[in-house]
Amino acid sequence: MKSKIIYLTYQTFPSNTANTIQTVDNAKYICRSGHEIIIVFPLRSKFSSDNIEKLKKHYRFDENIEFKGIEHNLPFGKYNIFEKYLYLFSHFIWSKKITKTYRKDVDSNSIFFTRSDWIFYFLSKKGLNVTFECHQLTKLRKQIIKKSISNKSSKVIFLNQNLLDDSGLNTGLSKKYMVLQNGVDTDLFKKENKNESKNFEIIFTGNIKRFNDDRGLKFIINSFLNEKMPEKFKLKIIGWPLEQINELRELVRKLKMSSRISIIDKLDRESTISNIQNADIGLLINSSTDRHSLMHTSPLKYFEYLYAGLNIVAVDFPSHRALPFSENISFFHENNEEGFIQALFESLRRDSIQKDQLKSITLEERVNKLLMFIK
């Protein structure tokens, strides 16, 4: 008998964040496996909506995913001051309230899934079957996980091995957790193969900053002034928000690099994938000042680069070393221009990974593993 997945989350929809895209993509493949899934979330933004037509248009899916938006009469999202503390307070209160509602009248065939540590905690206290997908760690979250995992029906999915290692969980609880990286939605790839003619184009897609910190893209742009950077290399950045895109455009203009560097405002996912497939090298760049970027991230763009047949150049962080097929990445040390240029040359000498080897990074495969674990 197929299980019903109740996805309780403090995310809000629709949104352009990578985490909501990941949630909907996984829900889509859960539906395809024959399971019923409902995503329950707070209406904590003026843009929040559970209108299914609006959500299907925004995320481009046709599957029968049910969305249910719940009132959020709490301060987070209403004020622009003390946002961190308002988030923590509102998240705790909303989680406690929603779990009281959803712990009633659930049958033995229902499975809870969440990215919220507090929802994980409150459902675990009631002995319900709940799995927490952990993408980041804080001191508080480590304590919540340790308290919650004692419930016999509670489990944790870690996005990479470093997250598991840093969680402090007892290795004797190995059946209670697993490491499961992100995956790629193969529906986005309309063309069978990448354009094989080399145009020496490097591509980056995503937020220009992470947690309001520079990701290192200005360093990449400035490296094009280095005399050892061949003129044949070009750079394309597809990102957001617009204010930061314009800031990079101004830098490119001042450096007189417009013929070699193009900065494009956010595109829809299909157009972004089309641009990726026409590039040669995918770029992973972040700042070591943020521990999540340094140790724990599993970027969706990496899996898209791989599936498009790109060679990958990445700043040498443990998070990037922990990615699947990382032995094929050409690494460089942070803020080292010559190392970056050498990595570009090295990447072009590598053969891209063939599609038949990449089944393990597809969302279909990821969801199969996820469902086997949580059931």
Residues 327 and 190 both lie in one domain: yes
Do 177 and 209 sit in the same domain of this protein? no
Q: Helix, strand, or coil here: 181?
A: coil
Q: How far apart are CA 210 and CA 218, in angstroms?
A: 13
Q: How many CB atoms lie within 10 A of CB 46?
A: 8
Whether the upstream peptide bond of residue 299 has omega within 30° of 0, thus cis, is no
Same-domain status, 175 and 318: no
What's the pLDDT tens digit per position in 281-319? 999 999 898 888 999 999 999 999 999 999 999 999 999
| 64 class by beta-carbon count within 10 Å (0-12 exposed, 13-18 middle, 19+ buried) | exposed
Q: Are residues 173 and 45 in the same domain?
A: yes
% pLDDT > 90, the chain: 82
Model confidence at 168: pLDDT above 60: yes
- Mark whether 89 and 229 lie in a shared domain: no
Per-residue pLDDT band for 210 (boundaries 50, 70, 90) equals: low
Residues 14 and 162 in one domain: yes
Beta bridge partners of 201: 234
Do residues 269 and 143 both lie within one domain? no
Q: Strand 66-70's sheet: what is its strand order?
A: 66-70, 36-42, 4-8, 110-114, 130-134, 154-158, 177-179
Identify the band that residue 197 occupies on the pLDDT scale cut at 50, 70 and 90. low
Q: Are residues 198 and 126 in the same domain?
A: no
Long-range contacts of 84-87 (CB under 8 A, 24+ apart): none
Q: Which residues pair with 264 in a beta bridge?
A: 238
CB count in 10 Å sphere of residue 57: 11
* Neighbouring-strand partners of residue 111: 5
- Give the percent of the chain with pLDDT over 70: 96
Query: Do 268 and 119 belong together in one domain?
Result: no
- For residues 91 and 165, membership in a common domain is answered with yes
283 forms beta bridges with 313
Q: Tokens 């700042």 appear where?
A: 287
Give 238-277 pLDDT, tens digit per residue. Answer: 998 889 999 999 999 999 999 999 999 999 999 999 999 9
Mean pLDDT of the chain: 93
* Residues facing 263 on adjacent strands: 237
pLDDT tens across 42-60, in order? 999 999 999 999 999 999 9
Domain count, the chain: 2
Same-domain status, 162 and 197:
no
CATH number for the domain that contains residue 369 = 3.40.50.2000
Which pLDDT tens digit goes with each residue over 132-155? 999 999 999 999 999 999 999 999
Average of per-residue pLDDT across 208-224: 85
Is the pLDDT score of 356 beyond 60? Answer: yes
Give the span between the Cα atoms of 347 and 352, in whole angstroms. 9
- Residues 167, 209: one domain? no
Residue 213 reports pLDDT greater than 80: no
Whether 211 shows a pLDDT value over 60: the answer reads no
Whether the link from the prior residue into 230 is cis, omega within 30° of 0, is no
Domain span at residue 79 reads 4-184+362-374
Closest listed residue to residue 306, CA positions, set 354, 263, 267: 354
Task: List, for residues 65-119, the tens digit of each pLDDT value.
Answer: 999 999 999 999 888 888 889 999 999 999 999 999 887 657 767 899 999 999 9
